[in-house]
Structure 1
Amino acid sequence: MFRLSRNNLPLILLPGLLCDHRLWAHAQATFETSREVLIPDLSLDTSIVAMAERVLQQAPPRFALAALSMGGYVAFEIMRRAPDRVARLALLDTMARPDDPARARVRRGLLELAGLGRFKGVTPQLLPRLMHARSLDTPVAQVVLDMADDIGREGFIRQQQAIIERADYQPVLASIQVPTLVLYGEQDEITPLAEAQLIHGQIAGARLEVICECGHLPPLEHPQRTSELLGQWLDA
């Protein structure tokens, strides 16, 4: 049975590529009654380092940090720069490794198309890669489309540039010494479960949770279960 956390540690929630505060709507509503909840805008900078610096400037002195996908890269950079400020870490559907050459080529191709004015955001045809089939004909799908449209072409270009040039964060993993939750959707095609297992295996004491019938976006696809797991993590 779900219950609110016993502590009031401030909580920072980091969105992924072409996502904003709506990704975390359920978690925000769940936890803001007992703590400060901050969801930074990650569409303003052209590097993961700059994103991390912006978050740290906005953040309270010590906080719990949960992050999805691109937000996970920012979380790793924060752990590299200011590990003493993070009391707990939750990593959702992200990866510590840099892109392999094939994945990097795809990103550069998308970046080039966007630069030519051919930005399409998240199309209905892309949705099956982002989420499990059970969510496709629900309001969740429209939320994903709307977030991408609102971030728009310029935000997408900045975010993709940051992702392409990000560091290899595998060396950071062994240094993480706070209670860590690694949470993934079982059917995630964007960051497969092998990435979760790599991260889980290199962070001492990390807890791995896999949500069934879920793709790349657990906070939207399974909001209640995601918030339940985050509540347990906040109490760890």
Structure 2
Amino acid sequence: MKQEDYLKRNNKIPLLLLPGTLCNEKLWEHQMSYLADIASITVGDLTQNNTIEGMASNVLDKAPERFALAGLSLGGMVAIEIMRQAPERVMRLALLDTNPRSPTDVQIETWLKFIQISKEGNFTSVTKDYLMPGLIRRANQDTSLVQKVINMAEEVGADAMERQMTALMYRPDAFEVLPTISCFVSVMVGEEDSVCPVAMSNEIVHQIPNSELTVIKNAGHLSSLDNPLEVSRKLKVWLLKN
């Protein structure tokens, strides 16, 4: 069914958004407002499970029967797992700032370090002192955006962080799934993303037959916050593409 026909019949496209590690619905605030005229939007909860498979299953249990799906970073990894578990339910897919590779030993050591820092009572330090330089592009580091990211992390909390980082350590192989995806896929990445750089998104596009890459200028890893208007515009194009 063409998107225009879907809109005429159903008024709005069901859209499921999945946030990244230590993020919640505030990661998508601009997009939720900008797309509200064409999309019925829900934000999945990725805080309750300690495996990517469990997160995907939990999201699917609460999701509409069929939906468009967009995920950023951890959310992108869960979105790929949803494509493994229930591809027939996804109308189209958007992967933002997503790492398709297996975790490295250095990454696992870093996540274990963050969990230990949190257990020692310094949870806020993980985002503020360690993660922040990689989340927001340098030009935005002195803005209220930094505090917004810290506030999100506080709302998600230490226990959920431990579950999320455990899930990242043992995540399944995305490269098994990518070539099997048949729906249209928009792959987006912040031009200044140092956590999941452009090369990783290129790898995804090369593996998915019906996909295209968009590099978001003036954006780092949390591209939906760093350059929200551009991400919102690209998502609208993606949602309406036939």
Question: Scaled by the length of structure 1, what TM-score is found?
Answer: 0.93
In structure 2, C-alpha distance between the alignment counterparts of 1:115 and 1:141, rounded to whole Å: 23
Aligned: 1:43 with 2:47: yes
> Is contact 1:121–1:153 with CA below 8 Å preserved after alignment?
no
**5+ residue gaps in structure 1?**
none
- Mapping of 1:1-236 within 5 angstroms? 6=4, 7=7, 8-119=12-123, 120-123=125-128, 126-236=131-241
In structure 1, C-alpha distance between the alignment counterparts of 2:195 and 2:139, rounded to whole Å: 17
In structure 1, C-alpha distance between the alignment counterparts of 2:115 and 2:134, rounded to whole Å: 19
Using the TM superposition, give the Cα deviation of residue 103 of structure 1 relative to its aligned residue in structure 2, in angstroms: 1.6
In structure 1, C-alpha distance between the alignment counterparts of 2:231 and 2:102, rounded to whole Å: 26
**5+ residue gaps in structure 2?**
none
> Is contact 2:114–2:126 with CA below 8 Å preserved after alignment?
no
Using the TM superposition, give the Cα deviation of residue 109 of structure 1 relative to its aligned residue in structure 2, in angstroms: 2.2
> Is contact 1:115–1:157 with CA below 8 Å preserved after alignment?
no
Using the TM superposition, give the Cα deviation of residue 34 of structure 1 relative to its aligned residue in structure 2, in angstroms: 2.7
Larger deviation, residues 92-101 vs 15-24:
92-101
Larger deviation, residues 42-51 vs 120-129:
120-129
Structure number with higher helix proportion? 2
Aligned pair in 2 of structure 1 residues 159, 132: CA closer, same or farther (>3 Å)? same
Letter in 2 for 1:206: S
In structure 1, C-alpha distance between the alignment counterparts of 2:159 and 2:107, rounded to whole Å: 21
> Is contact 1:111–1:161 with CA below 8 Å preserved after alignment?
no
Question: Scaled by the length of structure 2, what TM-score is found?
Answer: 0.91
> Is contact 1:47–1:161 with CA below 8 Å preserved after alignment?
yes
In structure 2, C-alpha distance between the alignment counterparts of 1:179 and 1:160, rounded to whole Å: 29
Larger deviation, residues 129-138 vs 221-230:
129-138
For residues 124-156 of structure 1, what are the alpha-carbon distances to aligned partners after superposition, in whole Å with 9 as ceiling and x for unaligned? 564222111221122221110100111111111
In structure 2, C-alpha distance between the alignment counterparts of 1:177 and 1:54, rounded to whole Å: 23
> Is contact 2:117–2:126 with CA below 8 Å preserved after alignment?
no
Aligned pair in 2 of structure 1 residues 110, 233: CA closer, same or farther (>3 Å)? same
Letter in 1 for 2:237: Q
Using the TM superposition, give the Cα deviation of residue 192 of structure 1 relative to its aligned residue in structure 2, in angstroms: 1.3
Letter in 1 for 2:165: Q
Identity %: 38
> Is contact 1:11–1:64 with CA below 8 Å preserved after alignment?
yes
